[in-house]
Amino acid sequence: MTSTSTERSEPISIVFADDGLVPNNPMPFLVYRAAVTLDRDDPAGSIEGVFGRNGWGDMWRNGVYDYLHYHATVHEVLGVASGTARVRFGGDHGQELELKPGDVAILPAGTGHQCISASTDFCIVGAYPPGPKMQVTRPTPENHARALQSIPNVPLPETDPVRGASGPLTRLWRRAR
């Protein structure tokens, strides 16, 4: 079975404010619900196929850290391969979302995230657009000050990891920048 991204309506789009410790980003955090049709025998491979075809790489399989963090040097995409999780995005004053298999969350650089709870079979695939390597950053005043300098210099991805060059990410993020 070939994995595909499902052609659905616009993703959920949320802009999180800088809270003084987590910088977040003026570009919207995006969530596609049931974005990827998962192969029953290799659901993570299904997500990797979609992300890879759309130019996002440096992939990994695991979960979401249970402590608040962000990435100030790169954008990140998370695709749920199995299980469910409640993840808080945007920092301590952000929003908790329930993620299910096939859902995809796209985090512009600086977006805080933390796993609040997860099923034992929760597995995500993470990936990044070409560019700098991912670095885990904890929310401190010093890290916040450095992130405010680095985030505006993170290049915009050329493609949406789910829908490619003509996907909503490219339009929404260019408009917000």
Predicted TM-score (pTM) above 0.85: yes
Residue 176's pLDDT is: 84
Residue 175's pLDDT is: 87
For the stretch 73-123, pLDDT in tens is 999 999 999 999 999 999 999 999 999 999 999 999 999 999 999 999 999
Domain ranges of the chain: 4-176
What's the longest Cα–Cα distance across the chain?
48
For the stretch 42-81, pLDDT in tens is 999 999 999 999 999 999 999 999 999 999 999 999 999 9
Supply 12's token pair. Answer: 């959920």
Buried b (16+ CB within 10 A) or exposed e, 3-42: bebeeeeebeebebebbebbbbbbbbbbbbeebbebbeee
Question: Which architecture does CATH list for 4-176?
Answer: Sandwich (2.60)
Count of residues making up the chain: 177
Q: What is d(CA 6, CA 87) in angstroms, rounded to the nearest whole number?
A: 23
